[in-house]
């Protein structure tokens, strides 16, 4: 089996903006204590790889025959085959364990990114542990939409508010903000809040900049109007002409 262990971790918009620590439980192969991770007693060189622990495999491609060196599946890369197998681990040298680790999620991660925790993967008979790969799954937020490293927030306003102007209180991931909507604002207008978006990180997980936040106002057109409202709109129409 592979010494690398892959798990998926779900995060939300707040985790993305501020970073967090997630306590994660996963299945891990750890060293078998009864046989000290050796898989048993008495061994001989693996005949499949002649004791090297590696095998060569060949692939036929459009560019010709490609040679690749891989871990020997018969001896799991140890080069040895156990003759008297451990009854606990059946000669594998490792057993299943429910492991819990604290995973540091840096601010600015995105869906599909992977984090690596060295030596937290599965134990192998060569005495080494593989790595744990944490694959990020970002759960979309209905209120706060992500666009690269920017945050988009839609806010509905009434026609009267667009015409006359208004001051709105808007919930954002960083807290409430006061939005001054000037008179004559068009539907779809974007109000920019510089560097109030999602941190931008480098490949080593260090933040070097921050995206923006945009509040987009959308004029709410009423589907049902009273006779009084219709009269007012007709008067506005006459004044507009």
Question: What one-character DSSP code corresponds to residue 154?
Answer: E
- Determine how β-strand 199-201 pairs with β-strand 207-210: antiparallel
Percent of the chain at pLDDT above 70? 98
pTM: 0.77
Nearest to 107 by CA among 211, 15, 9, 12: 15
In the predicted structure, residue 236 carries a pLDDT above the cut 80: no
In this prediction, residue 240 carries a pLDDT of 65
Q: What is the mean pLDDT of residues 114-124?
A: 93
Q: What is the mean pLDDT of residues 110-115?
A: 94
For residue 161, count other CB atoms closer than 10 A to its CB.
18
Nearest to 114 by CA among 148, 98, 138: 138
For residue range 151-166, what is the model confidence (pLDDT) as tens digits? 999 999 999 899 999 9
Q: What is the mean pLDDT of residues 20-25?
A: 96
Confidence of residue 195 (pLDDT cuts 50, 70, 90): very high
In this prediction, residue 96 carries a pLDDT of 95
In this prediction, residue 183 carries a pLDDT of 94
> How far, in Å, CA of 74 to CA of 82, rounded?
11
Confidence of residue 72 (pLDDT cuts 50, 70, 90): confident
In this prediction, residue 143 carries a pLDDT of 94
In this prediction, residue 2 carries a pLDDT of 64
Q: Is 98 exposed, middle or buried (0-12, 13-18, 19+ CB in 10 A)?
A: exposed
Percent of the chain at pLDDT above 90? 63
Q: What is the mean pLDDT of residues 12-41?
A: 94
> How far, in Å, CA of 210 to CA of 149, rounded?
7
Helix and strand numbers (H, E) in the chain are: 3, 17
Q: Which residue has the higher pLDDT, 21 or 69?
A: 21
Q: Which residue has the higher pLDDT, 101 or 82?
A: 101
Mean pLDDT, all residues of the chain: 90
């Amino acid at each position: 089996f592979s010494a690398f262990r892959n798990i998926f971790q779900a995060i939300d918009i707040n985790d993305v903006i501020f970073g967090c620590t997630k306590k994660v439980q996963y299945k891990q192969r750890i060293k078998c204590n009864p046989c000290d991770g050796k898989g048993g007693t008495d061994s001989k060189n693996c005949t499949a790889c002649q004791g090297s622990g590696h095998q060569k495999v060949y692939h036929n491609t459009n560019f010709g025959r490609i040679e690749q060196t891989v871990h020997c599946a018969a001896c799991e890369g140890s080069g040895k085959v156990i003759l008297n197998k451990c009854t606990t681990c059946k000669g594998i040298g490792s057993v299943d364990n429910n492991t819990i680790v604290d995973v540091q999620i840096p601010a600015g991660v995105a869906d599909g990114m992977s984090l690596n925790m060295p030596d937290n993967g599965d134990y192998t008979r060569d005495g080494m542990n593989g790595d744990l790969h944490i694959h990020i799954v970002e759960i979309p937020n209905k209120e706060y939409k992500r666009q690269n490293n920017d945050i988009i927030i839609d806010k509905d306003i009434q026609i009267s508010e667009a015409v006359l102007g208004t001051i709105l209180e808007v919930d954002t991931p960083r807290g409430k903000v006061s939005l001054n909507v000037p008179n004559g604002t068009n539907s779809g207008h974007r109000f920019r809040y510089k560097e109030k978006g999602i941190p931008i990180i480098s490949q080593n997980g260090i933040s070097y900049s921050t995206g923006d936040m945009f509040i987009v106002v959308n004029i709410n057109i009423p589907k049902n109007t009273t006779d009084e409202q219709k009269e007012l709109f007709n008067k506005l129409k006459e004044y507009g002409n």
